[in-house]
Amino acid sequence: MSADTSTNDGKPYGVARVCRVFETPKSTFYSRLKPVEASADAVRQKPGPKTPMSDEQLLELIRKDLAESCFVGEGHRKVWARLRHERGICVGAKRILRIMRENKLLSPHRARQGSKNPHDGTIITEKPNDMWGTDGMMVQTVTDGWVWVFTVVEHWNAECVGFHVSKDGSRFSALEPILQGIRRHFGKPVPGVARGLTVRPDHGSQFTSHHYKAQLESWGIALSFAYVKQPQTNGVTERFNRTLREQVVHGRVYTNVGELREAIARFVPLYNSKWRVEKLGYMTPLEAREGYGQQSAA
């Protein structure tokens, strides 16, 4: 009918007009013009190049990678990154996700996502030593009871620049990991040595105390508190502490402060040198820092 000629103006009706009058999508019209497939039972093949590795072979590599990993409870992104960067096996991340889901190999720490994050800004810096995040968490031990763990994490590459484990959660304990980071990346902790650096804590009593503020000001460090009831504004440290709990705390029993401190002291260098971070293009924190240093030197 679209090819018929109108008696009024002598022009064809056209496909668009006919479909509009009959309230039918044009895609339906054109699909009817396609030849019928030879077999209705024919299996539709996925387009694109075919990978030489079968799902069974890839599953075996995934199981081997998880067994040899230094960490526990990792998701499909970490497995994909190691297969690609360490073994030279180029497969799609979604395929890794599908195979791990089908074989119940996904991280047990995966949780249902909550409501949409109201924070629409960014806390990732463009260079190192621009902003450090800090926070404290509590871990229970057998003889010493609840113990405080304070960490400081670089916002640029998610590197843990310092940590401190103590029985008291005082302002002095909260300052210790920052002092470690200053010695590691700025040198001797003299007045004004870290000028230009900003520290992002929450509103805990340790971080709002006069002594804490005065000491940071002496080193030339500015304070930028996280937004109230928006922990995502301190998300870099929050994410590291979550990883620390999953890899060191959960499923383990520590007798005292000393045991916990030794366990974290073993984990932090391993994390900085082996943990692959998605925002860094799946480089480790130390690989990103070394690469930045080489670019600056060039």
Query: Among all chains, which residue has been given the structure tokens 């047990």?
Result: 108
Q: What CATH number does residue 170 fall under?
A: 3.30.420.10
Helices (H), 42-102: 55-68, 76-85, 93-102
Taking residues 21-36, report their average pLDDT: 74
60 and 21 fall within a common domain: no
Structural domain that includes position 14: 1-31
Residue 145 lies in a domain: yes
Strands 198-200 and 160-166: unpaired
Q: Which residue has the higher pLDDT, 62 or 33?
A: 62
Q: Which residue carries 């022009």 as its tokens?
A: 11
The reply to whether 208 falls in a domain is: yes
Q: Both 87 and 191 in a single domain?
A: no
pLDDT exceeds 80 at position 40: no
- Greater confidence, 166 or 52? 166
Residues 25 and 70 in one domain: no
Distance from C-alpha of 17 to C-alpha of 4, rounded to nearest angstrom: 12
**Is residue 112 assigned to a domain?**
no
CA angle 67, 278, 187 (to 5 degrees): 100
**Comparing 178 with 43, which gets the higher pLDDT?**
178
Per-residue pLDDT for 230 more than 60? Answer: yes
Dump pLDDT digits (tens) for 52-62.
789 999 999 99
> What pLDDT, on the 0 to 100 scale, is given for residue 25?
83
pLDDT at 272: 97
Q: Are residues 6 and 80 in the same domain?
A: no
Tell me whether residue 113 is in a domain. no
Average pLDDT over residues 23-40: 68
Ranges 4-8, 10-14, 38-42, 249-253, most confident: 249-253
Separation between Cα atoms, residue 197 and residue 103, nearest integer Å: 46
**pLDDT band, residue 254 (cuts 50/70/90):** very high
Q: What pLDDT score was predicted for residue 38? A: 47
- Residues 3-30 have a mean pLDDT of 73
Query: Does the pLDDT value for residue 264 go beyond 50?
Result: yes
Q: Which tops the pLDDT comparison, 174 or 227?
A: 174
* pTM given for the model: 0.69
233: confidence class by pLDDT, cuts 50, 70, 90: confident
In a domain, 47, yes or no: no
In this structure, the answer to whether residues 164 and 216 fall within a common structural domain is yes
Pair 180, 229 in one domain: yes
216 backbone dihedrals φ, ψ, rounded to 5°: -65, -40
Q: Could you tell me if 138 and 281 lie in one domain?
A: yes
Res 132: pLDDT: 97
Average pLDDT score over residue span 122-145 = 94
- Is-contact 227 203, C-beta < 8 A? no
259-271 average pLDDT score: 97
41 found inside a domain:
no
What's the pLDDT tens digit per position in 100-115? 999 999 988 776 665 5
The answer to whether position 293 is within a domain reads yes
Per-residue confidence band for 204, with pLDDT thresholds at 50, 70 and 90? very high
Provide the pLDDT for residue 298: 67
Question: What's the confidence (pLDDT) of residue 242?
Answer: 95
Which of the pair, 298 or 78, is modelled with greater confidence?
78
Q: Are residues 290 and 145 in the same domain?
A: yes
Residue 162 sits in the same domain as residue 226: yes
Note whether 175 and 260 are same-domain residues: yes
- Structurally, the chain folds into a number of domains equal to 3
Report, as an integer, the average pLDDT of 244-256. Answer: 96
**What does the alpha-carbon distance between residue 154 and residue 166 come to, in Å, rounded to a whole number?**
22
Which letter, b or e, does each residue of 46-61 get, where b requires 16 or more Cβ atoms within 10 Å of its Cβ? eeeeeeeeeeeebbeb
Regarding whether 254 and 187 lie in a shared domain, the answer is yes
**Residue 248 predicted with pLDDT over 90:** yes
Q: 257 and 193, same structural domain?
A: yes
Q: Is residue 115 part of a domain?
A: no
* Residue 232, amino acid: Q
